[in-house]
Chains A and B, each alone.
Chain A
């Protein structure tokens, strides 16, 4: 079963977002809680960067230029450990490869958009925006005003990341560890991952990817995720093909 198999634009479908503005507001609202989850990440990144002597300006520049938390953290840690430029770039690329797959999976939702507009939208692609947009576009009426929804949600997450970075860089990480704020990270991914498991092939892909990730030996950072995702994609596609 593929409840969201038909991704073609259905502009006549009923919608709870009658205008582009309403769709943008909906994007903002759907991403607002996720943005609350992004904020502590940003603070942790800004605080770590300051600890390493980066300064608020450079931390913010990094968050604007790269806008990808896991890769930014990895670059910081490896830079502290004295890694070479080539290693820093390669590790970040491997960690961020999934963003390319997100782009590919989202592209069919914006088939008629001009290249220039898609080029601007691409900058906003994150884990959170990807999962939220895909869920929204699969809803009844979710095909309308997709760009507005995407940009509204994307800018919300972007602002949260930049705000968190600046707060962390200027104030440092001041939350007591006993609050367990870092637990927000897995929770955000649970909130994104679980509703995305729509059929047997999805469940098979998820189990295969997680088992691969857990079973892999100690590999360079970022690589286990790429390998696990590859196995998940293969198993999911095979199960999908064999399901009548």
Chain B
């Protein structure tokens, strides 16, 4: 179903979500006093490990059930390359190449 043309609700949503998102981004970054203690820093150091792998799984899960097995294998190949090279371009290239080869 297609909603009616961009309603005031949507425009207001865009503005409010924009302001809220900026506030979230700026909160700990602009006023970092809350994060300066060593204990908090110890927790914040784990942020990449606790979030980025979940984003891998959640974006991979968006595939259809028939795509998922091949995509998981291609993702593992890409992960191996990322592990060995730490190179973004190589990771993307090998991942896409693996997908295309296995889907061919």
Residues of A within 8 A of B (CB): 2, 30, 33-34, 36-37, 51-55, 58, 61-62, 65-68, 71, 75, 79-80, 82, 85, 88-89, 92-93, 96-108, 111, 115, 118-119, 121-123, 125, 127, 130-131, 134-135, 178, 180, 182-197, 201-203, 205-206, 208-210, 213-214, 224-225, 228-233, 236-237, 240-241
Contacts and interface: CB of A to CB of B under 8 A. Distances in A.
B28 A189 contact: no
B3 A53 contact: yes
Given A101-B28, A232-B50, A122 B22 contact: yes
Nearest to A122: B26
A183 to B, nearest CB: 5
A71 B10 CA distance: 14
Interface string B40-66: 111111111111111111111011000
B32 A107 contact: yes
Contact of A190 (B1, B20, B44, B56): B56
Contact of B74 (A119, A183, A196, A214): A183
Contacts of A241: 42
Given A67-B21, A180-B99, A187-B75, 6 more contacts: A30-B88, A71-B21, A103-B25, A125-B29, A194-B79, A232-B50
Contacts, number: 275
Contacts of B34: 104
A180 B54 contact: no
Interface of B: 1-6, 9-18, 20-22, 24-32, 34-36, 40-60, 62-63, 67, 71, 74-75, 78-79, 82-83, 86-89, 91-92, 95-96, 99-100, 103
A237 B43 contact: yes
- Majority SS of interface residues in chain B? helix
Nearest to B55: A189
A55 B11 CA distance: 12
- Majority SS of interface residues in chain A? helix
Given A80-B1, A99-B24, A241-B42, A34 B17 contact: no
Contacts of A96: 20-21, 24-25
Nearest to A54: B6
Contacts of B56: 186, 189-190, 193
B26 A65 contact: no
Contact of A191 (B10, B12, B18, B91): B91
Contacts of B14: 58, 61-62, 65-66, 75
A93 B22 CA distance: 10
A214 B57 contact: yes
B54 A209 contact: yes
A105 B47 contact: yes
Contacts of B74: 183
Nearest to A128: B88
A89 B13 contact: yes
A107 B103 contact: no
A101 B51 contact: yes
Given A100-B25, A183-B74, A190 B49 contact: no
A209 B63 CA distance: 20
